[in-house]
A and B are shown apart, each in its own frame.
Chain A
Amino acid sequence: MSLSTAGALARPGTTASTTATSTTATSTTAPPGGGSARRRVRARLPAPRRWISPLVLVVAWQAASAAGVLPPDRLAAPLTVLRSAVDLAASGELTDAFAVSISRVAVGFTLGAAVGVLLGAVAGLSRWGEALVDPPVQMLRTLPFLGLIPLFILWFGIGEAPKIALVALGVAFPLYLNVHAGIRGADGRLLEAAEVLGFTRWERLRHVVAPAAVPQGLVGLRQGLAAAWLSLIIGEQVNADAGLGFLINNARDFLRTDVIVVGLLVYAALGLLTDAVVRLVERRVLRWRTTTRG
């Protein structure tokens, strides 16, 4: 959620793709009705009239800054933001911060996804597994995981570990829930058909259960990624000596709103990028479904 809000601050192009994201997001559960692949590609570039209001807003923002209505210590002008983005990129500061943040997400996501998928599979595939795994996970899920930061700091100190743990935790739950539900949702009639065809346990898993769980699993992947970025942003606010959060916090101390906005934009872009990657994977993996007749 906060990612989309951050995206709304961005250049018109970014705003436009945010809209595209939210519309395509609904298509994870329901196949897009009728539209051929080509039509969908074209539809991703929004109609010209959708560009008008974002452009007006940015122009108004620039005008307000130029007129002194928006002082730079509250919000820097768009052009200033652009300039400092170029500067930060040129000096390597942005790239370094970027690399640190990305690696935190990568490690945390990998850990969290592994745990989430594994537990989801265990709970989905075996009654005993479900009985043992599901209750504690459901209980933990009710805790607001971002509220665990104080505990994490006590447990893991203030280095990389609490940030990674927070990301992992944010990722694990949605993946667990969706993988579990996806496996349980496998069509019993297809399983019967597989049984009659003499499938082994492994073949049943490979040809029926796993593919049946994929759509829901991808929903979990998306939710997990959104949670990963959110956790990172929160985690990096707390205590960081490197990364995008550090860049932003540092900028705050010097009232550099331009750098703060640049940091936010990078967060937004990263969120959009990973979402786009998942969508690409989805389109490829769920090809069988996108061709559904109307």
Chain B
Amino acid sequence: MADHDTRVSAYAARLSGVRKTFGGRQVLAGIDLTIARGEFVALLGRSGSGKSTLLRLLAGLDTPDEHPSDSARANDSARANDSAPTSASAPTTTAEPTGAGVEGGQPDGSGTVASDAADERERSTAGVEDAGDAADRQPVATTTARPPVDVPGRVSVAFQDPRLLPWRRVGHNVRLGLRRPDADEVAERTLAEVGLAGHRDAWPLTLSGGEAQRVSLARALVREPDLLLLDEPFGALDALTRLAMHRLVLELWRRHEPAVLLVTHDVDEALTLADRVLVLADGRIAAEHPVPLARPRRRADLAELRARVLDHLGVSAHAVA
């Protein structure tokens, strides 16, 4: 990611007062979040709390609600910009006081939300038609001030389901996101990194669940993203494969240095991997826990933090754990 224009920005992603409403129900109620370059962030939250929604916004697959007053926040943004950390892995404190944008009582609340959501729905079922403009839409979102979703670099996503193209061989699947002459070589190298060098010519449908997940991870990594979004990528794996994948992700993270946002249900997973653990509740970042421990981490060292995070997850804590 050396040759990227993200050099200039200190963050891999920044959300400012992001809201998302589906059919009148507000799922995200003002999210402020900055992910520093190279930072590993885990996002916890009970089912339906909006984690995937947040991730989809970051991926540009969805657009946030229209922002009521961007100009009112302009000052805020300038300050936050200055204080944004520049070192890659230092934990950032950016669960900013959300006062100004969210609670300050904006007169023109929801705008054209409903039609927007309907539009999105249609798009996702409508073949290729129009699927192209989502990517273009994002940067245009605001002209006056800080855009609600700002992702300056390249984004990769590993979805919860592997989403490989079944009619392309494994190697081809990995190569698909690459636009460079040595794509084949790079794809092969990345496949080797996820331990699947021998499966280049296999059809995706012949892979085991864990193998398919790893191919999906390879496909996301091969693009050398500045921001890697992982939506419960280990959800379907057994405990042993899961541990192996944790090691693998950390290793790849160290080597490629992308910023990572890992969505997970698993508190231990979050604490073992991340620099910072966020808890999403009631549409906001309800809690933030830096994990200032060197890796590899031992379970025993995490006990106290674990208790605190579970506490923040509230009643659902025992269910989540």
B40 within 8 A of A: no
Residues of B within 8 A of A201 (CB): 128, 131-132
Contact call A195/B134, Cβ cutoff below 8 A? yes
Contact call B165/A211, Cβ cutoff below 8 A? yes
In angstroms, Cα B92 to Cα A173, docked, is 61
Residues of A within 8 A of B155 (CB): 196
A205 within 8 A of B: yes
In angstroms, Cα B169 to Cα A191, docked, is 17
Contact call B166/A289, Cβ cutoff below 8 A? yes
Contact call A288/B131, Cβ cutoff below 8 A? no
Which of B129, B134, B163, B206 sits near A193, CB closer than 8 Å?
B163
Interface residues on A, range: 35 or more
Contact call B128/A191, Cβ cutoff below 8 A? yes
Query: What 0/1 pattern do residues 179 to 213 of A give for CB contact below 8 A with B?
Result: 00001101011111111111111001101110110
Residues of A within 8 A of B159 (CB): 189, 192-193
Q: A197-B176, A197-B223, A211-B167 are in contact. Are A204 and B203 (CB under 8 A)?
A: no
Which of A198, A200, A207 sits near B168, CB closer than 8 Å?
A207
Query: What 0/1 pattern do residues 205 to 230 of B give for CB contact below 8 A with A?
Result: 11000000000000100010000000
In angstroms, Cα B127 to Cα A27, docked, is 25
> Could you list 7 A-B pairs, sorted by A, with CB under 8 Å?
A127-B126, A183-B127, A188-B124, A195-B134, A196-B59, A207-B165, A287-B203
Interface residues on B, range: 20 to 34
Tell me the chain B residues, 97-150 only, with Cβ under 8 Å from chain A.
124-129, 131-132, 134-135
Contact call A288/B203, Cβ cutoff below 8 A? yes
Residues of A within 8 A of B205 (CB): 288-289, 291-293
Residues of A within 8 A of B165 (CB): 190, 193, 207-208, 211
Contact call A191/B131, Cβ cutoff below 8 A? yes
Residues of B within 8 A of A125 (CB): 127-129
Residues of A within 8 A of B177 (CB): 197-198
Which of A190, A196, A209, A288 sits near B61, CB closer than 8 Å?
A196
Query: What 0/1 pattern do residues 59 to 78 of B give for CB contact below 8 A with A?
Result: 11100000000000000000
Residues of A within 8 A of B166 (CB): 288-289
CB distance from B162 to the nearest CB of A (A): 9
Residues of A within 8 A of B206 (CB): 291-293
Contact call A127/B163, Cβ cutoff below 8 A? no
Tell me the chain B residues, 223-247 only, with Cβ under 8 Å from chain A.
223
**How many Cβ-Cβ contacts under 8 Å join chain A to chain B?**
89
In angstroms, Cα B134 to Cα A189, docked, is 15
B282 within 8 A of A: no
Contact call A200/B132, Cβ cutoff below 8 A? yes
In angstroms, Cα B157 to Cα A125, docked, is 26
Which residue numbers of A lie inside 8 Å of B, CB to CB?
124-127, 183-184, 186, 188-201, 204-205, 207-209, 211-212, 214, 287-289, 291-293
Residues of B within 8 A of A204 (CB): 128, 131-132
Contact call A288/B157, Cβ cutoff below 8 A? no
Residues of B within 8 A of A195 (CB): 60-61, 131-132, 134-135
Contact call A193/B157, Cβ cutoff below 8 A? yes
Contact call A207/B128, Cβ cutoff below 8 A? no
Q: A292-B205, A293-B205 are in contact. Are A196 and B156 (CB under 8 A)?
A: yes
In angstroms, Cα B124 to Cα A254, docked, is 64
B161 within 8 A of A: yes
Contact call A207/B124, Cβ cutoff below 8 A? no
Determine the residue in chain A with the shortest Cβ distance to B176: A197
CB distance from A131 to the nearest CB of B (A): 12
Which of A126, A196, A292 sits near B157, CB closer than 8 Å?
A196
CB distance from A34 to the nearest CB of B (A): 13
CB distance from B117 to the nearest CB of A (A): 15
CB distance from B52 to the nearest CB of A (A): 11
Known: A190-B163, A208-B165. 18 other contacts (CB 8 A): A125-B127, A183-B127, A193-B157, A194-B131, A195-B135, A196-B59, A196-B157, A198-B179, A200-B132, A201-B131, A205-B128, A209-B127, A211-B167, A289-B167, A291-B205, A291-B206, A292-B206, A293-B205
Determine the residue in chain B with the shortest Cβ distance to A204: B128
CB distance from B263 to the nearest CB of A (A): 15
In angstroms, Cα B161 to Cα A205, docked, is 22
Residues of A within 8 A of B168 (CB): 207, 211, 288
Sort A-B residue pairs by CB-CB distance and give the 5 closest, nearest first: A197-B177, A193-B163, A211-B167, A188-B124, A288-B203
CB distance from A176 to the nearest CB of B (A): 16
Determine the residue in chain A with the shortest Cβ distance to B162: A193
Q: A198-B135, A208-B165, A289-B166 are in contact. Are A192 and B127 (CB under 8 A)?
A: no
Residues of A within 8 A of B127 (CB): 124-125, 183-184, 186, 191, 209
